[in-house]
């Protein structure tokens, strides 16, 4: 059984080079900057990070100090891998151990795994943006998967996360909060929030304290209906998450008639005799 960090490591190694949301900038011809940029390459307009194991060493412990997962010989010593600046020592699952597993060693080696949200699956790893996260919450990938939603980008979330083994009632790590996502409930919360978000700010929706001018703009009666529903769930973890991922509804433009590709293959092709092909 893999722990969350071990699962993330496996996904990242499978992907190899992971594209980040960081825009690519040409490096100044300064040697210091160049050194810190090692392992980063250009991927389209973004920075890609080449992900590989940090240097591992033989370690005697069988349990990982941080995630409690199994270590089979190789890992890193806590005193070398865990810096003084690491503030989550109280979250160590096996505080008696002096070693961490390759999964934790890997996950603590990349700041991109702290700065950005993480989606890990058996297929690989990526850093989804907010709109994509909304889609993932409503249509989760094939389990097992792991989703960490970074808000501050300043905290390690991965070792606090939990691997999801179901596409409904699944756990996600939303900053420091564990949220269990019931898709139908989230969808109905999103519907309320996104209607309000057309006019109100996310801060107003979260707090329930709205500007009078905007209430007039929105329409008092409709506002009262939606706010009555929002008031019932305000403060719940799922409501907070719904507000976080809510998107402005785009103004709907009538879509052009979709191309009916099926017609070409199903009705057109059989009418063309092989002898006619030469005419085209």
Binding stretches for Zn ion (CB under 5 A): 64, 66-67, 69, 101, 103-104
Taking the least distance from each CB to Zn ion, the nearer of 48 and 69 is: 69
| Cα–Cα distance measured from residue 49 to residue 113, given in angstroms and rounded to the nearest whole number | 10
Taking the least distance from each CB to Zn ion, the nearer of 18 and 64 is: 64
Taking the least distance from each CB to Zn ion, the nearer of 11 and 66 is: 66
Tokens representing 235?
Answer: 């403060």
Tokens representing 23?
Answer: 């825009």
| Cα–Cα distance measured from residue 12 to residue 49, given in angstroms and rounded to the nearest whole number | 10
- CB 104 to Zn ion: min, Å: 3
CB 170 within 8 A of CB 180: yes
| Cα–Cα distance measured from residue 120 to residue 145, given in angstroms and rounded to the nearest whole number | 6
| Cα–Cα distance measured from residue 202 to residue 246, given in angstroms and rounded to the nearest whole number | 9
Which residue from 212, 218, 216 is spatially nearest to 198, judged by alpha carbons? 218
Taking the least distance from each CB to Zn ion, the nearer of 104 and 186 is: 104
């Amino acid at each position: 059984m893999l722990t969350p960090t071990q699962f993330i490591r496996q996904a990242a190694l499978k992907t190899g080079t992971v594209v980040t949301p960081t825009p690519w900038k040409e490096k100044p011809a300064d040697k210091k900057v160049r050194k810190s940029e090692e392992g980063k390459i250009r991927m389209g307009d973004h920075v890609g990070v080449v992900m590989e194991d940090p240097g591992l060493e033989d370690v005697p412990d069988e349990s990982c100090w941080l995630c409690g997962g199994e270590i089979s010989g190789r890992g890193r010593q806590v005193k070398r891998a865990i810096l003084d600046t690491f503030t989550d020592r109280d979250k160590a699952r096996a505080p008696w151990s002096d070693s961490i597993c390759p999964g934790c060693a890997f996950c603590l080696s990349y700041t991109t795994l702290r700065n950005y949200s993480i989606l890990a699956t058996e297929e690989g790893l990526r850093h989804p943006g907010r709109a994509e996260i909304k889609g993932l919450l409503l249509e989760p990938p094939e389990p097992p998967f792991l989703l960490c939603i970074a808000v501050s980008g300043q905290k390690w979330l991965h070792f606090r996360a939990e691997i999801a083994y179901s596409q409904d009632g699944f756990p996600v790590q939303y900053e420091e909060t564990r949220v269990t996502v019931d898709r139908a409930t989230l969808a109905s919360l999103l519907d309320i929030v996104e209607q309000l978000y057309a006019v109100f700010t996310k801060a107003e929706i979260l707090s329930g304290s709205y500007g009078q001018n905007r209430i007039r703009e929105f329409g008092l009666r409709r506002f009262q209906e939606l706010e009555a529903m929002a008031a019932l769930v305000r403060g719940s973890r799922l409501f907070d998450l719904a507000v976080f991922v809510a998107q402005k509804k785009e103004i709907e433009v009538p879509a052009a008639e979709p191309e009916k590709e099926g017609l070409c293959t199903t009705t057109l092709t059989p009418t063309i005799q092989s002898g006619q092909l030469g005419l085209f």
